[in-house]
Structure 1
Amino acid sequence: ESYFGAVPDPRAPNATHRLGDLIVMMIAASLCGASNATEFALFAQERKQALSRLIDYDAAPSHDTFSRLLRLLDPEAFGRAFAAFAAAFARASRETPRGGVA
């Protein structure tokens, strides 16, 4: 989540889910083939046990939550943060012994 800490949260102060958690959910879902807000919400609901190793949430966000976030998120700030995350992930996967990253 530290890679995405500089991404401004465009949501209201009373948002239920942390921005970083939503981003983790979307990235994980995307890596598993999800491509839209409805699929992100379904993934967060169905894979809660697996995601709980990374983040903690009581109820999965709705597709409306993901859709609203995607409309409001600053694409340039997110792009910079994601590029830094992807570069670090690539470095880590090169440094991990073969078979260490699924």
Structure 2
Amino acid sequence: MKIGIIDLCKQIEDPRMNRKKVHKMETIIYISIAAVICGAQSWNEIEEFGNAKIAFFKSRIPDLEFIPSHDTFNRFFSIIKPEYFELIFRNWVKQVCQEVKGVVAIDGKLMRGPSQCDGEHTTGKEG
């Protein structure tokens, strides 16, 4: 059974007050992880990445109307318990490791081919 980041996020408590929630917790975490994996290093860059890929995120998050602001990302990650985020991330990585054989090159080096491949690496694509 596949459980993605969004479903894993639903297993922890959202630390925000209900009246201040515009975006779902799982939306904030999902966009953040995707942006950081793709090289974002600041709250502004996470927001910019989200806006650049909004069609992608809307296809996976049905009720998404707009990308959270950099301030929203900053505020959210300043109040979430680090152990909650760690739990989500570890469980997600564990699932990826179970589904993909070898090493997943998320930095693009395998696709650029700087070294020989020993057959144990994958781009995450089948075929």
Unmatched 5+ stretches in structure 1: none
- Which aligned segments of 4 or more residues in structure 1 are displaced greater than 2 angstroms? 98-102
Q: 2:61 aligns with which of 52, 55, 65?
A: 55
Structure 2 counterparts to residues 82-97 of structure 1, below 5 A:
82-94=89-101
Look up the match of 1:73. 80
CA contact (8 A) 1:3 1:85 kept: yes
How many pairs does the alignment contain?
A: 100
Unmatched 5+ stretches in structure 2: 1-5, 103-121
Deviations, residues 11-60 of structure 1 (Å, cap 9, x unaligned): 12131111011111001101110122111111111110112222131111
RMSD: 2.0
Rounded Cα–Cα distance in structure 2 between residues aligned with 1:70 and 1:51? 20
What SS class does the counterpart of residue 52 from structure 1 fall into? helix
**TM-score, length basis structure 1:** 0.86
**TM-score, length basis structure 2:** 0.70
The answer to which structure, 1 or 2, has the higher relative contact order (CA under 8 A, 6+ apart) is 1
Q: Considering fraction of residues, name the structure with more helix.
A: 1
From the CA coordinates, give the structure whose radius of gyration is larger.
Answer: 2
